[in-house]
Homo-oligomer: A and B are copies of this chain.
Amino acid sequence: MTPYIHKVNYYETDKMGITHHSNYIRFLEEARIDFLSQIGYPFDKIEAEGIVSPVIRVEYNFRKTTTFADEISIETKIEKLSAAKLTFGYTLTCKGEVCGTGKSEHCFLNLEGRPIIVEREKPEFFAALQNML
């Protein structure tokens, strides 16, 4: 898997001169979408399959600040996978040092918003995820 690179934009900094903490949650989303694309499931394909996978929990631990023009490299992993829930783990590195770690939990819904059992209803997608554990 290729790590995802986010180059910090000027508008992502705040008056402390650093990347505003809320933006890291957006970088995690970018990295997750890129990860799913790399395993053959870009978002449009997932939606075409009739699956949505909303965030039900997110956390982020800050170790070092970053700022404008910094290149943040994000490694995404699948940490847990069950019939009902998917957990991603993220490690963010900048200038050779870990600057933060994150986690996001997701459930699986159909387009009407009802929970689905991915393993049964979309076995190929489930297998692709399981393969990355």
Count of this chain's copies in the oligomeric assembly: 4
Contact A44 B69 (CB under 8 A): yes
Within the complex, what minimum Cβ distance (angstroms) separates A4 from chain B?
Answer: 12
Majority SS at the chain A contact face: mixed
Given A10-B43, A16-B54; 15 other pairs, CB 8 A cutoff: A10-B14, A10-B29, A10-B33, A11-B14, A11-B20, A11-B29, A13-B14, A14-B14, A14-B15, A21-B54, A22-B22, A25-B25, A42-B69, A43-B69, A44-B69
Which 10 pairs between the two chains have the least Cβ-Cβ distance? A59-B59, A13-B15, A22-B25, A15-B17, A21-B55, A22-B26, A11-B20, A57-B61, A11-B26, A56-B62
